[in-house]
Amino acid sequence: MGAADRPLLLLDCDPGHDDALAIALAARHGRLLGITTVAGNVPLERTTANALVMCEVLGLDVPVHAGSPAPLVAELRTAEFIHGASGLEGPTPPAHARQVASNDAVGFIVETVRANPGEVCLIATGPLTNVALALRTAPDIAQQLRAVSIMGGGIPWGNVTPAAEFNILVDPEAADIVFRAGLPLTMAGLNATHQWMFDETDIERLRAGGGPVAQFCAELLEYYGNAYARLGSNRLEGPLHDPLAVLALTHPALVTTTPYHVVIELTGTHTRGMTVADLRGVARAAPPNVEVITTLHAGAATGVLVETLTSYG
């Protein structure tokens, strides 16, 4: 695909190891117009600093706009137990002098979508706070977005609780706004991302084939894989959650999706933050509002990831 044919992308994220890899994929396979940050894996100050670090590591000339420091209603919960204190533990971050372009991620999303009607694909790999605020501020953008691809939820299971996945559980009220907005929405949930695991062999492929970017990413994956090992897998491996939300847009042939009506549970005693999909079949369900990724070609997806990271040199 020629550079001009690549999709226009906005990436809203909370880096985070897997968000960092999502940035690398989005910058290579799309025309990345900007990165917006949100509080999630670690507080906003850290996710923003980590987005700037990844721009430096990857040599990107892409503006970073800081966004929401807290969910719409809930108290912020974070995931240092996976991503470490900085949110990007593992490799040593390079020194740099990069600064945020603004602290108005929501305004940047709205302006960018309105300036490119029907063209912008929005990828969200963190809690959906910024996206919900953008839709609340400017409901017209729902009709102007070409696509929205999120990492979040799981059908029918969670990771922070049995029912709820981290990104949705951090800000369920935001997710509720996004899922009810009538968007061209694709969901990379845990049911899909756990079909795409990396392991030590993939880390070795990065180390063997690449330059400094691949080395940096290999160290990211090593830290992240060890965190999952401590959680119970007992082996160096992990799910490639956030990269899948990018590939669903840039390499759609790698995934298959099924349309479902999905709602966000806001009040359940044990199920707050659950993505409740109506699996009963079209005759009984409300009209679908989400294309849920149900299967993917994991080996080919890993090939794209390794090739992309090693291509940075």
How far apart (Å, rounded) are the C-alpha atoms in residues 252 and 254? Answer: 5
Q: In the complex, which residues of this chain contact ligand BDR (CB under 6 A)? A: 16, 18-19, 41, 79, 82, 125, 151, 159, 165-167, 241-242
Token pair, residue 295, equals: 């299967």
Task: Give catalytic status of residue 251 as yes or no.
Answer: no
Smallest gap from Cβ 100 to Ca ion, in A, equals: 19
16 lines the binding site for Ca ion (CB under 5 A):
yes
- Comparison of 20 and 110: residue with beta carbon closer to ligand BDR: 20
Residue linked to tokens 């970073």: 64
Task: Kindly indicate which of the ranges 14-22, 176-184, 271-279, 281-289 contains the residues binding Ca ion, using the contact rule CB under 5 A.
Answer: 14-22
- Comparison of 110 and 121: residue with beta carbon closer to ligand BDR: 121
Smallest gap from Cβ 41 to Ca ion, in A, equals: 6
Read off the amino acid at residue 200.
E
- Comparison of 19 and 291: residue with beta carbon closer to Ca ion: 19
Find out whether 310 and 291 touch, Cβ atoms under 8 Å: no
Smallest gap from Cβ 18 to ligand BDR, in A, equals: 5
Q: How far is CA 120 from each of CA 9, 117, 139, 143, 236, rounded to the nearest angstrom?
A: 6, 7, 15, 11, 36
Site for Ca ion in 72-131 (CB under 5 A): 125-126
Smallest gap from Cβ 17 to Ca ion, in A, equals: 9
CA angle (17 as vertex; 128, 10 as ends), nearest 5: 45
153 lines the binding site for Ca ion (CB under 5 A):
no
Find out whether 299 and 240 touch, Cβ atoms under 8 Å: no
273 lines the binding site for Ca ion (CB under 5 A):
no
How far apart (Å, rounded) are the C-alpha atoms in residues 93 and 88? Answer: 9
- Which of ligand BDR, Ca ion, none sits in contact with 89, Cβ below 5 to 8 A by type? none
Which residues, including other chains, have CB under 8 Å from residue 107's CB and lie 6 or more apart?
137
- Comparison of 165 and 291: residue with beta carbon closer to ligand BDR: 165
Beta bridge partners of 228: none
- Comparison of 26 and 110: residue with beta carbon closer to ligand BDR: 26
Residue of 83, 241, 261, 297 with catalytic role? 241
Which residues, including other chains, have CB under 8 Å from residue 123's CB and lie 6 or more apart?
9, 10, 11, 12, 13, 22, 26, 148, 149, 150, 245, 246, 249
Looking at residue 92, the DSSP 8-state letter turns out to be P
- Which of Ca ion, ligand BDR, none sits in contact with 159, Cβ below 5 to 8 A by type? ligand BDR
Task: Kindly indicate which of the ranges 178-186, 227-235, 236-244, 263-271 contains the residues binding Ca ion, using the contact rule CB under 5 A.
Answer: 236-244
Read off the amino acid at residue 37.
T
> Which residues contribute to the site for Ca ion (CB under 5 A)?
14, 16, 19, 125-126, 242
